Structure 1
């Protein structure tokens, strides 16, 4: 079984079926990027309808046991997540309320600094704010996993220190392997390893690089090098794959409501609006080559099980429950 730590886009029945064919038993979905509380509630309602309409192939999971059970039954366990903390709208009590509605993963901030923490794209990372520390503690208590994928390194290290539970970087890579602002320093990866956290290695070309995208063996070599930094218990998969995205979706994801101008996100001027997928990952179903690729670069069956699903399940068991 494969668990993907982060995907986004407009899921439909075909997307769920493609994940089934890929051997993906669990996936964290992106319910929002910039949306406030009411819009986030709308999104949860749409996700519930979608899963209900496709109950034979998908089911929402709120515990590690449920992810494991659903995935092993042949269906896709849908784990509800957000790539920003805007859904809380500055209200500490909303953390518990959204947790009770099934939200299990929330990123502290997206591409901009907010009232919680600094983003990886800001010129200076201010670190975790007082409110950010309160939200981290509240997420720990409510059973929501703290995600720091787009968060700056200083704020990420602060979050690791402030959290009583291990945290995640659900979709990023090691900056020492591919130099990009969205990727994480070795200090962050080592801190994850020392505290039981997990990084989901991404397959998004803009933060993975052409060399690691040219074959499954090349990408798995990147995973192996990440294991050398963070440790075998702290590396997993977080492809950042998108489903059915169009130009307006990319504009919303990158620009939201915060700018009149153009923002390229992890891309750059002159690059395609949609980065080409890795050569080995042309369609969702191609994820099924990952176990074989990991084996080809020297991982044992036990290590492959940790990377493909075991490390996420351990982290979910440690975080998807109230304190």
Structure 2
């Protein structure tokens, strides 16, 4: 069984990499940025190269599904590089391929405000995927970059699902029918996502999980209810874990450079701060306990394996490049 976390936004260091290994994480998608332009985003990727060099005994950056399986088999955690916005493109369609060549494998279309690709979930009106957005989705398909619809408005999300030639994902959210929240996803969008082979990564984040965050058993029951909605093959985990993230980091995530007024993201004026860790999920070392909770909920061994990471791996095999793009460009790998 390979455990996969579809999205984390932690401030990674060796201590956190050690926690990943303690939890047996085979693969984690990391957040390289939210609002940064192309140069700032390249700075973030350069930082990840340093992290990989300094912690090569614990992690390795993966570019393909085969990389993920190889790195996990070596007793390390595979890192998928991703961004929670398409700001890294700086409005340039050619940058999709350039960032893919730098190793980026996941791109969330919007963050907490509308951009030149589409609308966020917090807009009062969602006009859908833009003309540029349709080209971005097609280019991400071509170069092997997973389209992520977390934080995306529902019409924009439906457009992206319909326009994408390969499965897409919602990396970290829950069904809005279980926990009404603008960051969660409506049943019709989740069913459309599943019909095209995608995966939703369920989160235990308090603001998005409500009563299902109260215990590990309650969280497992949310998994079961989501499976009833879209099927076992289309549900995974996306913790949205923010280890070592402090309130100032939340302010940057929520406001970036675009707002002088308070922005609360998934929080609220009455609940603006960083949420305390869950008693049953303080960090990723609790992943084995999550698998045990799914078994206790009634899932068999094969379904538990799929929910804990197998479904993500299936999507990665379908979407990520079959080989290293850089090697192919240089005439290496076939």
Structure 1 position 121, deviation (Å): 0.3
Q: Deviations over 1:123-167 (max 9, x none)?
A: 111100110000000000011000000001111110000000110
Partner in structure 2 of residue 218 of structure 1: 218
Aligned length in residues? 322
Do residues 176 (structure 1) and 191 (structure 2) align? Answer: no
**Equivalent residues of 1:92, 1:134 under 8 A apart:** yes
CA RMSD, Structure 1 to Structure 2 (Å): 1.1
Aligned to 1:38: 39
The alpha-carbon deviation at position 72 of structure 1 amounts to 2.6
Q: CA deviation at 1:23?
A: 1.3
Runs of 4+ in 1 over 3 A off after TM superposition: none
Question: What residue is the counterpart of 1:301 in the other structure?
Answer: 301
**1:21 corresponds to 2:27:** no
**Correspondence for 2:284:** 284
Q: Which residue of 1 aligns with 2:330?
A: none
Answering whether residue 271 of structure 2 is matched by residue 268 of structure 1, we say no
1:182-201 aligned within 5 A: 182-201=183-202
Residue 27 of structure 1 and its aligned partner are, at CA, apart by 0.1
Residues 26-84 of structure 1, C-alpha deviations (whole Å, 9 max, x = no match): 00000000000000000000011011100000000011111122123211101000000
Q: Give, in whole Å, the separation in 1 of the partners of 2:75 and 2:215.
A: 27
| Corresponding position of 1:153 | 154
Contact persistence 1:213–1:279 (CA under 8 A): no
CA distance in 2, matches of 1:248, 1:279: 24
Aligned residue in 2 for 1:230: 230
Verify the 8 A CA contact 2:145 2:319 in the aligned structure 1.
Answer: yes
Q: Contact 2:243/2:283 (CA < 8 Å) preserved in 1?
A: no
Structure 1's unaligned 5+ residue stretches are none
| 1:128 counterpart residue number | 129
Query: 1:246, CA displacement in angstroms?
Result: 1.6
Aligned to 1:310: 310
Q: TM-score, normalised by structure 1?
A: 0.98
Please give the per-residue CA displacement for 1:251-282, whole angstroms capped at 9, x wherever unaligned. 10011000011101000012151112233112
Q: Distance in 2 between matches of 1:85 and 1:37?
A: 10
How far off is 1:283 after superposition? 3.0
TM-score by length of 2: 0.95
Query: 2:117: which partner in 1?
Result: 116
Q: Secondary structure at the match of 1:55?
A: coil
2:62, 2:78 within 8 Å by CA — same for their partners in 1? yes
- For 2:53 and 2:17, the matched residues in 1 are separated by 13
Deviation of 1:9 (Å): 2.4
Task: Give me the whole-angstrom Cα distance separating, in 2, the residues matched to 1:47 and 1:177.
Answer: 36
8 Å contact from structure 1 (residues 171, 199) kept in 2: yes
